[in-house]
């Protein structure tokens, strides 16, 4: 970006020419990559976790003597607001020295920003936003997504829960794009699978008190309370269910699959809560263990949260691409377009013609003794423990 005058540039060029002789033989070219996520505000925990994970990918790559380039991460805060998102997206996209981007947890921000990436030919991969339209709502070849959409997640969730024998649901969702999207797709798949929705409550994402909704839910006596939203609200609803003596099964979405959900609710109340997350469980994959260890070793103050592994995988994908085709946006876009069967810490990645990762497997989780455990490995699957109402 040429912010400063042309003469300044030539002056710099001149001085660089003078010092060129001093270059070490093994000095690598610098390449910039970027990260965008919500680093302030209500969902900043996830954003900071994502940023740390992306940062980790860059650090590890820079520590690798075989890497061709030295990478620099430019991380930006979208505040989870579309207008700010468009601003930072423009800033990053317009900076030609940035080759690739790992961006967006908030779908509304991603929706506003994709046009800009297309306009500036900046290849990017979404690391957390789950709204299908981010990839399917356009034909931009620059846009990719390593995580699955809420469609896959709810498809699996609806099937799984009806298979467990549950019949009736009360849905509570927040009124953001995230919660409303989940509500829409889960309702759709649940009806297909024969489940019945007794009531559907939309609540603002900053609501504290759910006793009114839950009292009404209690009267309807559903088998399951489905919550479409993020950890903070999920914690409140689970805690308040207890207050009102609601014994129904609590079912969440990917947004609550975090350790902070269990910390917030406490081990007792979180026991038996189920949720669903795209991708294979991190610790099951060969690289996953490595990620978890390295993340701990890097000494980040904050946890990586549910989507950290995706940010790590997406960043690695982009770094691999740059290593392969060089620091060139168009070539990187093409490289990403051809990704098929790429091994990552969240499982195999294959992009379809919309840049959506198709093999984003959905993993079912249940809380057992204060930990998220893959359903198949849990004592619930073996029948040793039972979900609520079974």
**Contacting other proteins within 155-214 (CB under 8 A):** 175-181, 200-204, 206-209, 211-213
Best CA proximity match to 172, nearest among 140, 139, 218, 131: 218
Best CA proximity match to 214, nearest among 249, 184, 181, 238: 238
Using only the alpha carbons of the chain, give its radius of gyration: 22
Range 117-156, binding other proteins (CB under 8 A): 120, 131, 133
Least distance from C-beta 338 to other proteins, angstroms? 29
Q: Is 219 in the site for other proteins (CB under 8 A)?
A: yes
Quickly tell me which residue has 């007794």 as its tokens. 198
Distance CA 331, CA 236 (A): 47
Least distance from C-beta 381 to other proteins, angstroms? 27
> Which CB, 208 or 382, lies closer to other proteins?
208
Q: Is 26 in the site for other proteins (CB under 8 A)?
A: no
Q: Is 108 in the site for other proteins (CB under 8 A)?
A: yes
Range 346-375, binding other proteins (CB under 8 A): none
**Reduced to 3 states, what is the DSSP secondary structure of residue 255?**
helix
Range 238-267, binding other proteins (CB under 8 A): 239-240, 242-245, 258, 260, 263-266
Distance CA 164, CA 274 (A): 12
**Reduced to 3 states, what is the DSSP secondary structure of residue 81?**
coil
Least distance from C-beta 204 to other proteins, angstroms? 6
- One of 32, 59, 91, 358 touching other proteins (CB under 8 A): 91
Torsion of CA 255, 257, 260, 261, to 10 degrees: 80
CB 38 within 8 A of CB 80: yes
End-to-end CA distance of the chain: 62
Tally of CA atoms within 13 A in the half-sphere of 108 that contains its CB: 15
Residue 377 CB partners (closer than 8 Å, separation 6+): none
Range 29-88, binding other proteins (CB under 8 A): 39-40, 42, 44-45, 48, 51, 75-77, 80-83, 86-88
- One of 218, 329, 354, 364 touching other proteins (CB under 8 A): 218
Q: Is 329 in the site for other proteins (CB under 8 A)?
A: no
- One of 31, 33, 54, 111 touching other proteins (CB under 8 A): 111
- One of 188, 302, 320, 377 touching other proteins (CB under 8 A): 302
- One of 56, 156, 158, 235 touching other proteins (CB under 8 A): 235
CB 339 within 8 A of CB 128: no
- One of 104, 144, 182, 236 touching other proteins (CB under 8 A): 236
> Which CB, 233 or 362, lies closer to other proteins?
233
């Amino acid at each position: 970006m040429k912010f400063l005058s042309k003469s300044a540039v030539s002056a710099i060029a001149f001085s660089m020419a003078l010092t060129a002789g001093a270059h070490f033989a093994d000095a690598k070219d610098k390449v910039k990559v970027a990260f965008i996520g919500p680093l302030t505000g209500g969902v900043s925990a996830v954003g900071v976790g994502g940023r740390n994970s992306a940062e980790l990918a860059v650090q590890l790559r820079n520590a690798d003597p075989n890497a061709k380039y030295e990478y620099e991460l430019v991380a930006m805060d979208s505040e989870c607001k579309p207008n700010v998102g468009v601003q930072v997206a423009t800033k990053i996209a317009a900076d030609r020295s940035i080759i690739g981007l790992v961006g967006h947890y908030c779908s509304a921000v991603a929706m506003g920003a994709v046009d800009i990436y297309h306009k500036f030919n900046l290849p990017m991969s979404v690391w957390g936003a789950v709204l299908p339209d981010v990839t399917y709502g356009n034909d931009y070849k620059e846009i990719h997504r390593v995580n699955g959409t809420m469609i896959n997640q709810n498809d699996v969730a609806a099937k799984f829960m009806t298979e467990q024998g549950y019949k009736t649901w009360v849905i509570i969702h927040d009124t953001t794009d995230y919660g409303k999207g989940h509500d829409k797709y889960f309702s759709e798949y649940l009806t297909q699978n024969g489940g019945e929705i007794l009531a559907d409550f939309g609540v603002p994402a900053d609501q504290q008190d759910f006793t009114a909704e839950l009292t009404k839910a209690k009267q309807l006596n559903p088998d399951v309370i489905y919550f479409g939203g993020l950890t903070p609200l999920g914690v409140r609803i689970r805690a308040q269910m207890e207050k009102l003596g609601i014994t129904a099964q609590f079912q969440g979405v990917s947004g609550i699959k975090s350790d902070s959900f269990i910390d917030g609710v406490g081990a007792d109340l979180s026991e038996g809560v189920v949720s669903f997350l795209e991708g294979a469980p991190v610790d099951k994959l060969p690289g996953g263990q490595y990620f978890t260890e390295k993340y701990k070793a890097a000494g980040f103050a904050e946890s990586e949260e549910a989507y950290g592994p995706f940010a790590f995988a997406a960043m690695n994908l982009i770094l691999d691409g740059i290593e392969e085709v060089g620091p060139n946006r168009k070539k990187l876009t093409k490289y990403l377009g051809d990704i098929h069967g790429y091994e990552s810490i969240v499982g195999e990645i294959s992009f379809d013609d919309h840049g959506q990762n198709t093999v984003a497997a959905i993993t079912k989780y249940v809380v057992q003794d204060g930990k998220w455990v893959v359903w198949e490995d849990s004592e619930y699957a073996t029948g040793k423990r039972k979900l609520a109402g079974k």
